[in-house]
Amino acid sequence: MSQKIAGPKGMNDILPGEVEVWQHVERTARELFSRFGYGEVRTPTVEDTALFVRSVGEETDIVGKEMYTFEDKGGRSLSLRPEGTAPAARAYIEHSVVNQEPLTRWFYMGPMFRYERMKTGRYRQFHQIGAEAYGSKEPAQDVEIMDLVVQLLQTLGLKDVSLNINSLGDETCRPAYQEKLVGHLRAHVDELCADCKVRLERNPLRVLDCKVERCQQIALAAPSILESLCEPCREHFASVQRKMGALGIKFEINHRIMRGLDYYTRTTFEFIAAHPVLGTASTVGGGGRYDKLVKSLGGPDVPAVGVGLGLDRLCLLLRESGQRFGQPAQLFIAVADEGSADEALALASRLRREGLRVELDTRGGSLKSQMKRADKVGATYTLVLGELERTSGQAQLKPMAGGEPVPVKLAELAQTLHAAKPAA
């Protein structure tokens, strides 16, 4: 007997019964994002490794430890994308989009890849929904991006998700803060994990993003970056807060939010869920402003702000919400005798062309087994088709939830089903 082949660890199959939740989130996001004027962009799953080294940061864990990087047959170093912002920025530059529209709003959906320690809500192939806005340096654009997520969560019916915001300053004021931070960290250098001792020398801000508990405790006592903001950054952050208030969006200021990527400047934020199903992977989305990323990748000097949402985590929360997803069959056709099989297949085909969801067990079998199948698929109605029904052109439409069968003409079946009250 041949050995079974399993899927790669941390890269999950999404099967019917579960995929309907995903489809619901994706449909909801597409509809909502279009209301905000965001168009969908689709970038390759694989990019030049240099894109992520230059954007995400060579000293980040993502580039240093987590990327799936390989050499192709042409000797080029390629990587499976670990996040969506850098590929979108690359596409924005490559296609000279700034010359076509000064304000550009994009969204994307798709798989990302990081070789991480797996736990609930954190996988090696994970899925993101993201939005990026290029061309506006105004605080209003930061707020619009956050409002986009707030409205998506509300539309999905997800509650108990808090919004934390911070400002990371910019190249003017961040160096002064970094000096204060380094002084604090050096006083506790012996307590830092091995990775953070390296980060202290190469990129001290990354220490604040460490997940090791003792490093988190040191980070808690670190000076706040908000005390070191220059006046333009302070005004920008104050304007963000004021506009959030005007929209009625609740938020908390959290000076410890740094995010795990090097390209962020000024506004940064995270959406954090309180539900225990996520365990320690409680951040369902996050992002911020990255005004220098496009230029650093060889593009024009265009400001930008964006957000990424964990689709896997959103779906975990939705499955716990008790909501129902997917659309059951409106009709199950049960075949009473072998001579009616072709007629049943033709009837199902005709009804499907009429836009109806119709199930038919092509294996046939006893009526009892077919009715069990109708119940399993959650059909709203069943119709038994046999010689009597074929010759008379009449049948009985049986509600699976209970109630009296409804006489129906086979020629008028589509109109009857379209007019029928949907299942509760």
Q: How many CB atoms lie within 10 A of CB 327?
A: 12
How are the residues of the chain apportioned to helix, strand and coil, as percentages rounded to the nearest 5?
A: 40, 20, 35
Q: What is the DSSP letter of 96?
A: T
Which positions make up the binding site? 83-85, 114, 128, 132, 259, 263-264
Q: How many CB atoms lie within 10 A of CB 235?
A: 12
- Is the CB of residue 124 less than 8 Å from the CB of residue 111? no
Q: In this structure, are strands 252-253 and 358-360 parallel, antiparallel, or unpaired?
A: unpaired
Handedness of CA 88, 289, 159, 10 (dihedral sign): positive
Query: Count H helices, E strands: the chain?
Result: 15, 16
Tokens of 405: 């069968």
Comparing C-alpha atoms, which of 5, 288, 285 is closest to residue 121?
285
289 - beta bridge partners?
265, 305
3-state secondary structure 134-175: ECCCCHHHHHHHHHHHHHHHHHHCCCCEEEEEEECCCCCCHH
Q: What is the DSSP letter of 44?
A: -
What is the longest distance spanned by two Cα atoms in the chain?
91
Comparing C-alpha atoms, which of 260, 261, 262, 257 is closest to residue 272?
257
- Judged on CB neighbours under 10 Å (0-12, 13-18, 19+), 408 is buried
Tokens of 273: 């869920």
DSSP string, 231-286: HHHHHHHHHHHHHHHHTT---EE-TT---S-TT-EEEEEEEEE--GGGTT--EEEE
Which positions make up the binding site for L-histidine? 83-85, 114, 128, 132, 259, 263-264
